[in-house]
Amino acid sequence: MAAAMELRCWGGDWGLPSVHTESLIVLAYTKFSGAKVTVSPIDWTWKTLTATVPELLCGDSAVQEPTQILNFLRKQRFNADYELTARQGADTMAYIALLEEKLRPALLHTFWVDAENYANLTRPWFASRSPFPLNFLVPCRHANTALSRILLTKGEAPLHRITEVEGKIYSDAKECLNLLSYRLGTANYFFGNSPTSLDAFVFGFVAPLHKASLPSSPLQSHLRQLDNLTGFCDTILAVYFSSDHPCPPPPVQETVDANLQKLTQLVNKESNLIEKMDDNLRSSPQHKPHRPDPKPSLASEKSSTPA
């Protein structure tokens, strides 16, 4: 569709196109899918208070929330998930749920609730990007929203105190980062050789943690040990957001016949079934090995080739 699209989001810093997780997700997806959007940062405008960010304006319609925006772009035929199988699509949903449940509370805490980080990094940054007199209101409002979200979802009624959940949310977040690292392995992207919406979500969540200069963050030091995740962020920044060379073209989407699409899906299902039959034939029904395979330790992840 040729209608011009405008994206409102927070501005960038620390080497990132935007410091706000949701805005980053949408920006990354537009690059992956080849959608042309004009980015209008809301910094230094009154929209810092009034607008819900990110927001995509296309013609008369305004779409908010990353999932809704991604759906909208897909309908406009900007689809980075074109080559995924049905099962990979299901995996995408599952991993996004994992990020939301396990990683988001800890990120909110690191940036908005932890006193040192908030006073030294987050509040000055957001205050400096808001016009007077909003610079007093905007960071406070975000911090309160973050705190109430953490307490309502993770706090155990009736003792709503943040200190009791801190330990739990950080250990959950570290586990989540480990799981992502295992899943990514040595590949460049989560599914094959071209990035998809899952890569956009992981990038949006992990990149601010990787790049921000946080005074105190055990979570950031934990992330720094996971080389493949930091390499993943750096690769995406270098390939899609660097101003030196142009972005690689998105996977070409010909106008595919609906029948051809159905046929492709059937063939995929058939090959999955054949794989499973093969597995069943191979594994003997009686004996299940009791010794689990020696699990590769995290140290072995360091041997993966950095970007």
Q: Which is nearer to another protein, 116 or 164 (CB)?
A: 164
Token reading at 167: 């330990």
**Site for another protein contains 158 (CB under 8 A):** yes
**Site for another protein contains 234 (CB under 8 A):** no
Among 224, 262, 276, 302, binds another protein (CB under 8 A): 276
Among 185, 215, 218, 306, binds another protein (CB under 8 A): 185
**Site for another protein contains 222 (CB under 8 A):** no
CA distance 253 to 98: 30
Q: Which is nearer to another protein, 102 or 123 (CB)?
A: 102
Among 87, 161, 262, 302, binds another protein (CB under 8 A): 87
Q: Which is nearer to another protein, 130 or 217 (CB)?
A: 217
**Site for another protein contains 164 (CB under 8 A):** yes
**Dihedral sign, Cα of residue 215, residue 221, residue 224, residue 226:** negative
Give me the residue label for tokens 């040192």. 116
| 182: nearest Cα among 235, 233, 228 | 228
CA distance 274 to 272: 5
| 106: nearest Cα among 154, 62, 46 | 154
Least Å distance, CB 133 to another protein, is 27
Q: Is the peptide bond before 133 cis (omega within 30 degrees of 0)?
A: yes
Per-residue contact flags (x/-) with another protein for residues 52 to 81, judged by CB under 8 A: -------------x----------------
Cβ-contact 28, 200 below 8 angstroms: yes
55: helix, strand or coil: strand
Residues in binding contact with another protein, number by CB under 8 A? 43
Token reading at 128: 């400096």
**Site for another protein contains 154 (CB under 8 A):** no
Please report, for the chain, how many H helices and E strands are present, in that order: 13, 4
Length in residues, the chain: 307
Among 47, 102, 123, 210, binds another protein (CB under 8 A): 102
How far CA 285 is from CA of 123, 201, 277, 279, 280, in Å, comes to 60, 40, 13, 11, 8
Least Å distance, CB 181 to another protein, is 9
Among 133, 167, 246, 249, binds another protein (CB under 8 A): 167
Among 279, 281, 299, 305, binds another protein (CB under 8 A): 279
Cβ neighbors of 89 (< 8 A, separation 6 or more) are 81
Q: Which is nearer to another protein, 16 or 180 (CB)?
A: 180
Where along the sequence are the contacts to another protein (CB under 8 A)?
65, 86-87, 89-91, 93-95, 97-98, 100-102, 148-149, 152-153, 156-158, 164, 167-168, 171, 175, 179-180, 182-183, 185, 272-273, 276, 279, 283, 285, 288-289, 292-293, 295-296
